[in-house]
Structure 1
Amino acid sequence: MSQPAGNPPIPSSAVREHPVQHRFPDVRPRRVRRAGWVGLGIAAVASLALAFLPSPYVVETPGPTFDTLGATDAGPLITIDGAETYPTEGELRLLTVSLLGNPQRPLTWIDVAEAYLDPSDSIIPMAAAFPPQVSVEESNEAGRIEMQNSQSAAVAAALLHEGLDVESDVRIAGVIPGSPAEGLLEEGDRILRVNGEAVYDVFSIRASIAAVDGPTTLEIQRGDEALTVEVTPVVEDGQKIVGIYPSNEFTFPFEVDIQLPNVGGPSAGMMFALGVVDELTPGAMTAGTRWAGTGTIAALGDVGPIGGIVQKMHGAVDAGATHFLAPVENCGEVAGHVPEGLTVFAVDTLDDAMAAIDAVAMNEDTSALPTCEAAPAP
């Protein structure tokens, strides 16, 4: 092909597929990239610093477990003096929940994040576990008194179940400062009736207060004087309270001593009662089965709800238990959270608990026994 006349040929060396591009130092993008990395570094350091800041939460986690038929470093959990006892086997294991964190030593956000990933842990607000108006020392003292009451009520329930005589006396062990009861009730007052109902133990007091809307009427004895006092309860954590620490003072036909140091609260009551009954009756109640359970106990045998039942089920499995007794009122928390390998029965009374244990011991069909209809947790 020839070029048009008058136009000189274009040298082949001048032909280019693309125009020439002049490159200059990429100063601005490099600065932007450097600023981005610096920003990410600052964010990472800030996040790490925040992770170690104190959080407003505490964590409930499975705590130690104890066999009521066994012993601790302090000696046998249950010692009976003045009545015939019988050897037994198997386990009737009570369960505890450990609380991680408190106002003096709060958890960090990293601690809370780790608990969130563990299905056996539960995260609750600090204020729910430690109300601002109650010190840690006062909370621990309340737990100690509740444990004492639980042990007394458990012995009473066991002895009454066996047809033995028990005398009851309920007194005020302390009044919470700033509570409705302050200035109206005093330490040492003997509580005779609440809202017209005779008082047999701490749990009957709570039931009578809960059953009535408005003010609570307490008939008390203070020294030689009989008094009627009206107190308006307040609601804390869904429970009506007047602000007293009641204390059971039972008189038993023989001595039953329960030793479990450094554990507070009322939730071991049912398992204590089962342990006392087992030791007072011939043969092994469990026939060697490893049971665990939880629930408050009233002197007349009623089983009440407790806290931390999910943690307690995990603690039971960790301790090797295969069967579990849960209060009926806790079934909403049990359903869908039963660890694999654990069979749970729902109980409302001491008799219910003994019926479940007997059925398993005798290899009977347990399909008719009450359960929480809970499937194993995924």
Structure 2
Amino acid sequence: MSEPAGITPQSPSAVREHAVRPRFPDVRPRRIRRAGWIGILVASAASVGLAFVPSPYIVEQPGPTWDTLGATDAGPLIQIDEVQTYPTEGELRLLTVALLGNPQQPLTWFDVAEAYLDPSDAIIPMDAAFPPSQTVEQSNEAGRIEMQNSQSSAIAAALLHEGYEVDSDVRIAGVIPGSPAEGLLEEGDRILSVNGETAYDVWSIRAAIASRDGASTFALERGDEQLEVDVVPVVDGDQRLVGVYPANEFAFPFPVHIELPNVGGPSAGMMFALGIVDELTPGAMTAGTHWAGTGTISALGDVGGIGGIVQKMHGAVDAGATHFLAPAENCGEVVGHVPDGLEVFAVATLDEAIAAVQAVAAGEDTSGLPTCEDVSGS
């Protein structure tokens, strides 16, 4: 008969010796086995219990995408009136990131572990997406205002690119309670300049605040009064924040409407601008090519970095895009994470984005166009 695993076989004399002595049950191995099984069950129960304990993380994953040359359930995504427009082809697809979890509905550790196994998901601290100083409702409102600013800046950038004049104002749409701006800046204030830099749009205000340590000086128009106010920003990571929601107010020469319900944040700006330029210029800019991209945009056409670039590249591939426009600021995150089947170009301005799309459409040699490997030095 074979011996139990892990136990040394006994000699014949030992077996006989056991045969002539009184036999008493040896309960020690049974107790050891019972204790082992109890330990395993306890550990398993603890693991299962921990899996459903709320975690301090959220998950970013590829979200819905929309073609800026196409339509949503609400109608054309971009509608331009009272001026000549032209047919388009292909796709200029904007991308989003879906956030799983929030302070009111936190993810469990099981959810986090599941996301860890998916290369298209990213796990980030809850506080990175939902600062403790803001409620979920305040965060959603900030995203809504950022989307509005993104759309108006995109329209301004596209029209300025096409040679139109665009007058602008920037006003404060809201002040965050408890922020440095509370009691100093007010909703409805018109911002004339920050640190001596003209406030042409939201982008220029943020750049001016970021450029100076210590207090930032706001030149304001409040009703019939003009005044200067010093506000000391708080530092949050690589950002300097005063705690206001600035809003663009542009005077456009003709109506341009962007309809994209229930989407927040500023990262679609560049793709909005490309769609508007395509509709305002003869010929299809893409020549039928399927593009996707992401990036904030200023009214003067500067393209800025965004969050969730890896998730957006996966979303682009899932949507059938073959070419991708990435903000140069994000290139450090792009290199080494590009999904198969996607060609990525790095851009820092609207002009560079247009040049990349037109070069591919014309079948030109694109080896001279900047890539993220060029920008990051990889």
TM-score normalised to structure 2 length? 0.93
Q: 1:17 to 1:33 in 2, by over 3 A?
A: closer
Residue-by-residue CA offset, 1:193-241 (whole Å, 9 max, x unaligned):
1100111100010111111111101101000100101001111232111
Shift of 1:25: 1.4
Question: What secondary structure, in the 3-state scheme, does the structure 2 residue paired with 1:249 have?
Answer: strand
Question: What secondary structure, in the 3-state scheme, does the structure 2 residue paired with 1:220 have?
Answer: strand
Structure 2: runs of 5+ lacking an equivalent: 1-11
- Does residue 20 (structure 1) correspond to residue 48 (structure 2)? The answer is no
In structure 1, the partner of 2:261 is 261
Q: In structure 1, how many angstroms separate the alpha carbons of the residues matched to 2:45 and 2:258?
A: 52
Residue-by-residue CA offset, 1:310-331 (whole Å, 9 max, x unaligned):
0000000000000000000100
Question: What secondary structure, in the 3-state scheme, does the structure 1 residue paired with 2:345 have?
Answer: strand
Q: In structure 2, how many angstroms separate the alpha carbons of the residues matched to 1:99 and 1:246?
A: 24
Q: In structure 2, how many angstroms separate the alpha carbons of the residues matched to 1:320 and 1:73?
A: 20
Question: What secondary structure, in the 3-state scheme, does the structure 1 residue paired with 2:168 have?
Answer: coil
In structure 1, the partner of 2:228 is 228
User: For the Cα contact (< 8 Å) 1:77–1:260, is it kept in 2?
Assistant: yes
Q: In structure 2, how many angstroms separate the alpha carbons of the residues matched to 1:20 and 1:203?
A: 92
Q: In structure 2, how many angstroms separate the alpha carbons of the residues matched to 1:80 and 1:237?
A: 39
- Does residue 62 (structure 1) correspond to residue 65 (structure 2)? The answer is no
Q: 1:17 to 1:350 in 2, by over 3 A?
A: closer
In structure 2, the partner of 1:126 is 126
Question: Which deviates the most, 309-318 or 40-49?
Answer: 40-49
Alignment root-mean-square deviation, CA: 1.1
- Does residue 292 (structure 1) correspond to residue 297 (structure 2)? The answer is no
Q: In structure 1, how many angstroms separate the alpha carbons of the residues matched to 2:13 and 2:188?
A: 105
Question: What secondary structure, in the 3-state scheme, does the structure 2 residue paired with 1:373 have?
Answer: helix
User: For the Cα contact (< 8 Å) 1:62–1:120, is it kept in 2?
Assistant: yes
Shift of 1:20: 2.1
In structure 2, the partner of 1:311 is 311
User: For the Cα contact (< 8 Å) 1:168–1:251, is it kept in 2?
Assistant: yes
In structure 2, the partner of 1:7 is none
State the identity as a percent. 77
User: For the Cα contact (< 8 Å) 1:128–1:237, is it kept in 2?
Assistant: no
In structure 2, the partner of 1:99 is 99
In structure 1, the partner of 2:3 is none
In structure 1, the partner of 2:158 is 158
Q: 1:24 to 1:352 in 2, by over 3 A?
A: same
Question: What secondary structure, in the 3-state scheme, does the structure 2 residue paired with 1:45 have?
Answer: helix
Matched to 1:284, the amino acid is: A
Matched to 1:214, the amino acid is: G
Q: In structure 1, how many angstroms separate the alpha carbons of the residues matched to 2:31 and 2:170?
A: 78
- Does residue 358 (structure 1) correspond to residue 358 (structure 2)? The answer is yes
Q: 1:356 to 1:39 in 2, by over 3 A?
A: same
Question: Which deviates the most, 25-34 or 338-347?
Answer: 25-34
In structure 1, the partner of 2:115 is 115
- Does residue 183 (structure 1) correspond to residue 180 (structure 2)? The answer is no
Matched to 1:302, the amino acid is: D
In structure 1, the partner of 2:194 is 194
Matched to 2:338, the amino acid is: V
Aligned positions of 1:18-57 closer than 5 A: 20-21=17-18, 22=21, 23-57=23-57
Residue-by-residue CA offset, 1:54-82 (whole Å, 9 max, x unaligned):
11100000000000000111111000111
TM-score normalised to structure 1 length? 0.93
Q: In structure 2, how many angstroms separate the alpha carbons of the residues matched to 1:345 and 1:357?
A: 10
Shift of 1:255: 0.2
User: For the Cα contact (< 8 Å) 1:203–1:298, is it kept in 2?
Assistant: yes
In structure 2, the partner of 1:76 is 76
Shift of 1:43: 1.2
Shift of 1:38: 1.3
Shift of 1:17: 5.6
Shift of 1:24: 3.0
Aligned positions of 1:207-246 closer than 5 A: 207-246=207-246
Q: In structure 2, how many angstroms separate the alpha carbons of the residues matched to 1:91 and 1:254?
A: 24
User: For the Cα contact (< 8 Å) 1:67–1:94, is it kept in 2?
Assistant: yes
